[in-house]
Structure 1
Amino acid sequence: MPSIEIQVLEGVFDAEDKASIITRVTEAFGSVAGDTIARGTSVRILDVQSGAWGYAGNILTTEDALAMRAKG
């Protein structure tokens, strides 16, 4: 069945945030694919070490991601 992988910088989302992301992503996927497929969907959130992520040639840190998140 479907497998969805989400990568985030470590320290940006706590366990409660991650649980909410997993639930909501599964629900959103199910709204398109159907309930039967949603029930077989696997969602994983992988933490990437701060400084080990690049975007547009720039290195991102946990502090950068927290600042982005604070902006909403």
Structure 2
Amino acid sequence: MPLVNIDVIEGVFTAQQKQDMIRNVTDTMVAIEGENLRGVTWVKINEVKTGDWGIGGKMLSSGDVKAMAGR
């Protein structure tokens, strides 16, 4: 039973985008493992508070991520 964890910064993705992540990651795992494992493929989205994540020594906020994505 596979478990896929996705870490994102809180406030960046909409509920629909998170649903799309769950569906697409599940579909990818099923393509690898086979359809019989769809019902036991878990995808967990963990939201980290804005400012509690850093890259390259710099704190990242939800605004920074949205700017990188051009939103």
Same fold by TM-score greater than 0.5: yes
Give the share of equivalent positions with the same residue, in percent.
Answer: 37
> Which stretch has the larger CA shift, 46-55 or 29-38?
29-38
Alignment size in residue pairs: 71
Provide the TM-score with structure 1 as the length reference: 0.90
2: CA distance between counterparts of 1:30 and 1:58? Answer: 37
Distance in 1 separating the partners of 2:31 and 2:39: 11
Partners of 2:44 and 2:58 lie apart in 1 by: 25
Structure 2: segments with no counterpart, 5+ residues: none
The alignment's TM-score, normalised by the length of structure 2, stands at 0.91
Shift of residue 17 of structure 1? 0.6
Structure 1 segments (4+ residues) deviating >3 Å: none
For structure 1, the residue ranges without an aligned partner over 5 or more in a row are none
- 2:56 partner amino acid: A
CA RMSD of aligned residues (A): 1.2
| Pairing 1:34-45 to 2, within 5 Å after superposition | 34-45=34-45
